[in-house]
Amino acid sequence: MKFLSFLILFISFNSFAESNFEKAEKLFQQEKWDQAKVLFEDCIKQNPKDYKSIEYLGDIAGHQKRWEDAIGYYKTLKIQFPKTANYWYKFGGALGLKAKSVSKFKALGMIDEVENAFLTAAKLDVKHVESRWALVMLYIELPGIVGGSEKKANKYADELMQISKVDGYLSKGYIDEYFERYTQAEKNYLKAHEIGNSKTTFKKLYNLYLNKLKNKAKANQLKEQFEK
């Protein structure tokens, strides 16, 4: 009888923990970060190995620009699951965003770890789109003296092209736009939009027309076509 009572209590406790997690997920989807954070923290108190809650806490910290906290959560995950590409990518992303918020001197000391995290993610998953995008942006934005290189950026843009034509053309367009090759950027964004016809491809092309090519007529024409 005592065993049966214990079993009922155990099942009730697990159901409560699960409902807490589900409620936290809903709050997260509603972007109610503080409320979701409290519930995910409760989940971890009950089960320190609740890695999904740890990941959510890292994501919440990222949304709230608490980079140090995000780095800590993702570091735990990449150590526990060293072959999971997405944890390396998220760790590198949080570290990279922290680097942008500190002095240039401190940021320089973080670049190698950021690059290594993205490279590791890309190696672990040959189809990981996000890490390749991160590498394209990293190599374009970094000065040449600390590893920046258009050639390196194009290498990962080429890999994106093999995984997803839309991402491939968007990344090529991003590189061209960065170097003010706006005519070539337009061609790549047009190809991406023809294939994807998404909000993302529309925005890239629309912003290029409006802000870089200063062609309001083309921008408005594109908008009318997209909103039909």
Per-residue pLDDT of the chain (228 residues), as tens digits, is: 555 555 444 444 554 445 789 999 999 999 999 999 999 999 999 999 999 999 999 999 999 999 999 999 999 999 999 999 999 999 999 999 999 999 988 988 999 999 999 999 999 999 999 999 999 999 999 988 888 999 999 999 999 999 999 999 999 999 999 999 999 999 999 999 999 999 999 999 999 999 999 999 999 999 999 988
Residues with Cβ within 8 Å of 21's Cβ and at least 6 positions away in sequence, in order, are 39, 40, 43, 50, 52, 53
Backbone angles phi and psi of 58, in degrees to 5: -65, -40
Closest by Cα among 51, 25, 50, 49 to 37 = 25
Phi, psi of 39 (to 5 degrees): -70, -40
Give the residue among 108, 113, 109 at the shortest CA–CA distance from 93. 113
DSSP state at residue 102: S
